[in-house]
A and B are shown apart, each in its own frame.
Chain A
Amino acid sequence: MPGASSTVAPRRPRRGGGPTPYVLVAPAVVLLVLFLLVPIGYTVWLSLRASRVTGGGLGLRVEQFVGLENYVGVLTDDGYLQGVLRMLGYGAIVVPTMLGLALLFALLLDTPRIRFGAASRIGIFLPYAVPGVIASLLWGFLYLPNVSPIRDAVTAVGLPAPDFLAPGSVLFSVANIGVWGGVGFNMIVLYTALRGIPREMYDAARIDGASEVQIALRVKIPLIAPALVMTGVFSIIATLQVFSEPATLQPLTDAIPSSWVPLMTIYRDAFVNNDIHTAAAASVVLALGTLVVSLGVLSFLQKRAFGRGQ
């Protein structure tokens, strides 16, 4: 945490002190190197190689260095690039909807006249406790035309049945699962931030004649801006990693190809097509993209939220 050290009272300066700091930091460094840096390095190394066939007859695959060939393949693969666009579209739907709902619920739960607050909070949070794959299966049953109770209900009142898995609507159907699962968590984070605001602020605002809506817009939201930034960044990262929802729905419908989002392409290459090298290159591309987007969003939002450049 930047700035955390400044809150610690300065100790007596000790120069050239013994091995203690290194010993203390060693476990973290070892774990970081072993489980983060080495796998990343190995992924990069894999991405520069490929298995190629030599010999007659059926031939034999031999791993060899191919330079940036896999990266060229990934960046010229229409399926992968369309997947990236689809993922961005998914994010454009999910992030604002999910955070908007989470903020709305958090503000509602924080109003003084709330009733059944605890029950509502748990009710909204509960979908987050359902694993993504299970949630997707549940929604899959609700979407599939011939088993969908939603369609039955809609047709029962005489309206045309919606097709949740048509080419034009499947993106929204998948996004809906993400929103359903994610609102609860973000709501809890924002609600907790709201509870941390001193009550005196509201009293002061009320004395000044502010309504509850004005308090929410002018006092609460600016004060929980850091929490909004955090949930925003987390949501964007989650968007870039979307996998289990579409992958679970894919076998149920013709509307979702195996390269629907980048992680599905990577999964297919690595575990179905047995081409770990292309998958490694696509992973590196996706990871770099995620890093750039997260840092960009973070620095932009921090400037806005905290009114300073650092």
Chain B
Amino acid sequence: MSRLTTGPGRFPTNSLPAATFGRRGLLKGIAGIGAAATLPALLGACDSGSDENVAPPKGNPDDPANLTFWTWTTNVEKVVDIWNARNPHQKVTVSRQAQGEELLTKIITAHRAGNAPDLLHAEYQALPVLITNGAVADLTSLAGEVRSEFTEGTWNLTSFGGKTYAIPQDVAPMMLYYREDLFQQFGLTVPKSWDEFATVARQVRQKDANRYLATFSSGDPGWFAGLAEQAGANWWVNDNGTWTVSINDEPTKRMAAFWGGLVNDGTLSGKPMYTPEWNKAMSDGTLLAWPSAVWGAGVLEGVALTTKGKWRMAPLPQWNAASPATGYWGGSATAISTKSTQRAQAEKFVRWLNTDPEAIDALVAQGGIYPAATTGQSTPALSKAPLMLPNQPTFFADAAAIAKTARGFSWAPNVNVTYSAYSDILAKAIQDKSDFAAAIDRLQDASVADLKKQGFQVK
């Protein structure tokens, strides 16, 4: 699921997306602490030693069922209503428990307590955490039937070691949003390479000392991971149970050093995204561009509605013009709980939700997602430009072309720890104006130390 649909309610003035695994989820959780720590759930957690994958009951997919679905996709109730009208004996109930990393924690707690829902919203980077907690079922049997609906890169997001644990719902390829009006006003050209990006960033500072081309955010690890992915990084590889962690690989450090140099010499801003300051900067033109994902158009609507028609979307600047690439920022899949007793019916629903043309079109139209299924990427609801970019009628066609260049990425079972460490370490580097590449070495050390502590084999 795209971040577009997450509304942390942090600021009542708009609907900001929550950083998945970022520090921004914190606030939402303050209210949730009491609920999450109820005694029965805690006491139930005592039996968590018995986390083995239970063999799925051989059920009939058409048997009556009553399925619970924990998700936070915008307006997903309306999509589920279509299912419920078609399948009156197999009712699906949507329950909005939490979002982002809190939903992850709730799912694991509920799983330990033995009352997990049948259907789960699983963000790609959270999936390994769910798998290693034994919370999501192996869907390899279902996978064979739907595999052809997805590209290789997308499919790899939910498959580990030949097993598939979830069916992709949406993907979020990264792209560059920029203020077309201000680019014209200042006579800037849209950067095609990151070198050009740096040049344009300096030009902006020369033309107007109050403006920046863009900001580097310590609060959005998913954003950073997407940029690293574009640069060619491969942070995690699992070879037969042994993990190789290379967060400080050459592409990531090159990318981090590039941003760090520009932030430290004042060419780019170093303030976090999704703050009241950022909202203001995005609407008053203090920031001229935003490397974001396909759902970014929806975020602009929330934070900078007055700039409607002034933005345009282009591919991210490239490291190597010969082989254009992009990364993913966000996106999620639908999984089934290992404890579900209605496995066959749940599989039927998951398949319908993420591959049926009617369901996908409703998800796009109602939920504003960018579907993972390739046929869905030309669904009728995507023929119109987003509200904020009426000046770019080919928005989704352009997005589809960019999506084809997305590199694959595989995630580790401690992405949550790595992400929270990212926020602290990079925030400190920005404050101290110190070397970002060195900060990435510290991030690597923190991530590896945690993986080892948890008992994983690390090379």
B132 / chain A contacts, CB cutoff of 8 Å: 53, 58-61
Are B105 and A251 in contact, with the CB atoms below 8 A? no
Are A273 and B416 in contact, with the CB atoms below 8 A? yes
State A58–B427 Cα separation when bound (angstroms).
Answer: 31
A42-B42, A257-B424 known; A61-B416 Cβ under 8 A: no
Q: How many residues of A contact B (CB 8 A)?
A: 52
Residue of B nearest to A140 (CB): B276
CB-CB contacts of B211-237 with A at 8 A, as 1s and 0s? 000000011000000000000000000
Stretch at the interface among B25-33, B85-93, B340-348, B395-403: B25-33
Query: Which of A52, A79, A167, A258 has most chain B Cβ within 10 Å?
Result: A258
Residue of A nearest to B219 (CB): A251
Judge whether A145 is part of the interface by a CB distance below 8 angstroms: yes
Min distance, Cβ A283 to any Cβ of chain B, angstroms:
11
Are A248 and B27 in contact, with the CB atoms below 8 A? yes
Are B26 and A251 in contact, with the CB atoms below 8 A? yes
B427 / chain A contacts, CB cutoff of 8 Å: 254-255, 257
Are B51 and A60 in contact, with the CB atoms below 8 A? yes
Query: Which of A53, A54, A55 has most chain B Cβ within 10 Å?
Result: A53
State A259–B423 Cα separation when bound (angstroms).
Answer: 11
Min distance, Cβ B371 to any Cβ of chain A, angstroms:
27
Residues from 129 to 160 in B contacting A, C-beta threshold 8 Å: 129, 131-134, 160
Stretch at the interface among B172-180, B267-275, B310-318: B267-275
Min distance, Cβ B296 to any Cβ of chain A, angstroms:
19
Min distance, Cβ A58 to any Cβ of chain B, angstroms:
5
State A247–B31 Cα separation when bound (angstroms).
Answer: 12
Stretch at the interface among A89-97, A220-228, A264-272, A298-306: A264-272
Judge whether B428 is part of the interface by a CB distance below 8 angstroms: yes
Are A272 and B455 in contact, with the CB atoms below 8 A? no
CB-CB contacts of B443-459 with A at 8 A, as 1s and 0s? 00000000001111000
B413 / chain A contacts, CB cutoff of 8 Å: 53, 58-59
State A244–B453 Cα separation when bound (angstroms).
Answer: 30
CB-CB contacts of B299-338 with A at 8 A, as 1s and 0s? 0000000000000000000000000000000000000000
Interface size class of B (residues with CB under 8 A): 35 or more
Query: Which of B10, B24, B161 has most chain A Cβ within 10 Å?
Result: B10
B454 / chain A contacts, CB cutoff of 8 Å: 51-53, 61
Judge whether A20 is part of the interface by a CB distance below 8 angstroms: no
A288 / chain B contacts, CB cutoff of 8 Å: none
Are A251 and B134 in contact, with the CB atoms below 8 A? no
Residue of A nearest to B427 (CB): A254
Are B416 and A251 in contact, with the CB atoms below 8 A? no
B49 / chain A contacts, CB cutoff of 8 Å: 62-64
Judge whether B78 is part of the interface by a CB distance below 8 angstroms: no
Are B26 and A257 in contact, with the CB atoms below 8 A? no
Judge whether A68 is part of the interface by a CB distance below 8 angstroms: no
Min distance, Cβ B37 to any Cβ of chain A, angstroms:
8
Residues from 83 to 142 in A contacting B, C-beta threshold 8 Å: 133, 137, 140-141
Judge whether A56 is part of the interface by a CB distance below 8 angstroms: yes
B286 / chain A contacts, CB cutoff of 8 Å: 146
Interchain pairs with CB closer than 8 A, number: 152
CB-CB contacts of B401-417 with A at 8 A, as 1s and 0s? 00000000000010011
Residues from 112 to 139 in B contacting A, C-beta threshold 8 Å: 128-129, 131-134
CB-CB contacts of A256-284 with B at 8 A, as 1s and 0s? 01110000000110111111100000000
Are A250 and B277 in contact, with the CB atoms below 8 A? no
Are A271 and B102 in contact, with the CB atoms below 8 A? yes
Are B277 and A274 in contact, with the CB atoms below 8 A? no
A155 / chain B contacts, CB cutoff of 8 Å: none
Min distance, Cβ A121 to any Cβ of chain B, angstroms:
30
Judge whether B352 is part of the interface by a CB distance below 8 angstroms: no
A272 / chain B contacts, CB cutoff of 8 Å: 21, 23, 25-26, 101, 105, 416, 420
Are A145 and B277 in contact, with the CB atoms below 8 A? yes
Min distance, Cβ A23 to any Cβ of chain B, angstroms:
25
B420 / chain A contacts, CB cutoff of 8 Å: 258, 268, 272-273
Judge whether A192 is part of the interface by a CB distance below 8 angstroms: no
Judge whether A2 is part of the interface by a CB distance below 8 angstroms: no
Judge whether A38 is part of the interface by a CB distance below 8 angstroms: yes
Are A250 and B129 in contact, with the CB atoms below 8 A? no
Which of A60, A63, A251 sits near B23, CB closer than 8 Å? A251
Are B274 and A146 in contact, with the CB atoms below 8 A? no
A273 / chain B contacts, CB cutoff of 8 Å: 416-417, 420
Are B275 and A144 in contact, with the CB atoms below 8 A? yes
State A267–B456 Cα separation when bound (angstroms).
Answer: 24
Judge whether B184 is part of the interface by a CB distance below 8 angstroms: no
A55 / chain B contacts, CB cutoff of 8 Å: 241
State A189–B233 Cα separation when bound (angstroms).
Answer: 60
A56 / chain B contacts, CB cutoff of 8 Å: 240-241
Are B272 and A253 in contact, with the CB atoms below 8 A? yes
10 additional contacts (CB under 8 A) given A52-B454, A73-B453, A254-B428: A51-B48, A60-B133, A79-B424, A147-B277, A248-B27, A250-B26, A251-B10, A251-B24, A257-B428, A259-B424
Can you list 7 A-B pairs, Cβ within 8 angstroms, ordered by A? A251-B272, A252-B272, A254-B430, A257-B427, A268-B26, A271-B105, A272-B105
Residues of B whose CB lies within 8 Å of any CB of A are: 10-11, 21-27, 29-30, 32-33, 36, 39, 42-43, 45, 48-49, 51-52, 101-102, 104-105, 108, 128-129, 131-134, 160-161, 163, 218-219, 238, 240-241, 270-272, 274-277, 280-281, 286, 413, 416-417, 420, 423-424, 427-428, 430-431, 453-456
